[in-house]
């Protein structure tokens, strides 16, 4: 079982719709959770972090964390073509002392 799992996609949504990206993790001791956006040929950029159960909103982005079910999700409202990218989920586990990344979900926002 992979430590951090994501559906590779591509996930296609129409412009203006809500995109929902999901990530599950295996270590119950995980403490911090992150979403990175990576455009093709570019490096990952941190867009959201979440540390406690519940929702965290930042503009059009909402991160959701459910530690009991070991999943974290990213919602993108009013999706724009500029949101088309690969989204990486990353999890920090104290025991490992470093981030573990999922392989990413490719999002395509279509006109």
Partner 1 sequence: DVKVTQSSRYLVKRTGEKVFLECVQDMDHENMFWYRQDPGLGLRLIYFSYDVKMKEKGDIPEGYSVSREKKERFSLILESASTNQTSMYLCASSVGRGRNGYTFGSGTRLTVV
**Taking the alpha carbons of 70, 73, 13, 105 in that order, is the dihedral positive or negative?**
negative
Alpha carbon dihedral 31, 57, 108, 72, in 10-degree steps, equals: 30
* Size of the residue set binding partner 1 (CB under 8 A): 22
Closer residue to partner 1, CB minimum distance, 95 or 111: 95
Closer residue to partner 1, CB minimum distance, 21 or 104: 104
Q: Which of 76, 90, 107, 109 binds partner 1 (CB under 8 A)?
A: 90
Q: Which of 23, 83, 92, 107 binds partner 1 (CB under 8 A)?
A: 92
Residue 53 engages partner 1 in binding (rule: CB under 8 A) = no
- Closest Cα partner for 99 from 1, 4, 22, 2? 4
**Taking the alpha carbons of 2, 43, 54, 12 in that order, is the dihedral positive or negative?**
negative
Give contact residues for partner 1 (rule: CB under 8 A): 31-32, 34, 36, 41-46, 49, 88, 90, 92, 94, 97-99, 101-104
């Amino acid at each position: 079982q992979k430590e951090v799992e994501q559906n590779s996609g591509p996930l296609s949504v129409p412009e203006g719709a809500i995109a929902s990206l999901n990530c599950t993790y295996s270590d119950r001791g995980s403490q911090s959770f992150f979403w990175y956006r990576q455009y093709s040929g570019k490096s990952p950029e941190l867009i959201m972090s979440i540390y406690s159960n519940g929702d965290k909103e930042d503009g059009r982005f909402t991160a959701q964390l459910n530690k009991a079910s070991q999943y974290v999700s990213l919602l993108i409202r009013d999706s724009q073509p500029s949101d088309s990218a690969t989204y990486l989920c990353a999890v920090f586990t104290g025991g490992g002392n470093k981030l573990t990344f999922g392989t990413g979900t490719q999002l395509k926002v279509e006109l």
